Amino acid sequence: MRNFGALLTNEWIKLYKKKSFFVYFGIMALFIGVCGYFIYRYPMEGMDSALDFVALFGSMMGAGQILPLIAIIAIANVVPSEFRMGTIKLLLIRAQSRTKILGSKYAVTLLFSLVLIAATLAMAFMAGFIVFGFGGGDAKTWSLIGENALYLVVYTFAFVTLTFMIGVLTKSSGATVGISMFCVMAGGILTMLLNRYSFIKYTLFPNVDLSVYQNGGTMPHDMTLTFSSTIIAVYVAVFLVASFFIFRKRDVS
């Protein structure tokens, strides 16, 4: 386990030492800042405390519109850059199995996504306090914030895993970002267009945003929260099995 911790440290340093690391957090700060400014200038009905602000902008409707894309761009490079720079050759001739090495890389993509989400929520709290001051909100708002954050985490993790797999398969960061972005965007449109066919419910895209079931929301074709969670889990598992299988077998030349 100490072993894996060292690999994880390595991967985190590789992300952290890049200048772009802070850009991702900067973009989220800008997003929250702009949202805060607009709420301040044009107050919304039903939003009168810092917690309300966090509940909205920490949800799929708020940060969910941009954060998963930022996460995809940030982590798309984790595997392809080793191939592009040629460092993969020195990385794989260590006394570590390929499974562990790829495992540490996957773990760091999840870790980064979590940190990005946590930082965004923290910034939303700060913006909320600046606009509305302390106080207000109740226990229900707190649990709403938690629930929304959870949906955001699930959504982001699903697409981050997809991106990770594409990175392993293509070894090209450009292709990885392109294909993953396309999936995020086209997924929604495809779901809308093919809504009347029931097979669509077995694809990842209509299932991945669990917040649609909030407040008794329903989805066509008898989809439920449990059904969607299962579909997400199955897809994530398939992505991971494919990634590890390919990475372990691949000839590095």
Partner 1 sequence: MKTSKNGQGEHNTVLQLNGVTKRIGSKTLVSGLSFQIAKGEIVGLLGPNGAGKTTTIRMIVGLIGMTEGDVHIGGHSVRTDFERAIRHVGGIIENPEFYPYMTGMDNLKQYARMAEGVTEARIHEVTKLVGLQNALNKKVKAYSLGMRQRLGIAQALLHRPSVLILDEPTNGLDPAGIREMREYMKSIAETEGIAILVSSHLLSEMELMCSRVVVIQEGKLVTVRSIGAEQEEDSNLISLSLQVSNSEQARSILKGLKIDSLQAIEEAGPDRLALSIRHEDIPEVVAALAGGGVGLYRIEERKSTLEDEFMKWTEGNRIA
Asked if residues 62 and 155 have their Cβ atoms less than 8 Å apart, the reply is no
- Rounded to an integer, what distance in angstroms lies between the CA atom of residue 205 and that of residue 191? 7
Reduced to 3 states (helix: H, G, I; strand: E, B; else coil), residue 49 is coil
Q: Between 93 and 139, whose beta carbon lies closer to partner 1? A: 93
CA angle 149, 150, 153 (to 5 degrees): 85
Residue of 45, 93, 139, 216 that binds partner 1 (CB under 8 A) = 93
Asked if residues 212 and 154 have their Cβ atoms less than 8 Å apart, the reply is no
9 binds partner 1 (CB under 8 A): yes
87 binds partner 1 (CB under 8 A): yes
Number of amino acids touching partner 1 (CB under 8 A): 24
Asked if residues 121 and 54 have their Cβ atoms less than 8 Å apart, the reply is yes
Quick count: other Cβ atoms within 10 Å of Cβ 193? 11
Quickly tell me which residue has 């372990």 as its tokens. 248
Structure tokens at 114: 């979590």
**Region from 28-36, 82-90, 188-196, 229-237 binding partner 1, contact rule CB under 8 A:** 82-90
221 binds partner 1 (CB under 8 A): no
Structure tokens at 154: 């699930």
Residue of 1, 139, 218, 249 that binds partner 1 (CB under 8 A) = 249
Interacting positions 29-48 with partner 1 (CB under 8 A):
none
**Region from 17-25, 58-66, 69-77, 219-227 binding partner 1, contact rule CB under 8 A:** 17-25
184 binds partner 1 (CB under 8 A): no
Q: Between 215 and 253, whose beta carbon lies closer to partner 1? A: 253
Contacts to partner 1 by CB under 8 A = 6-7, 9-10, 13-14, 17-19, 85-87, 89-90, 92-97, 249, 251-253
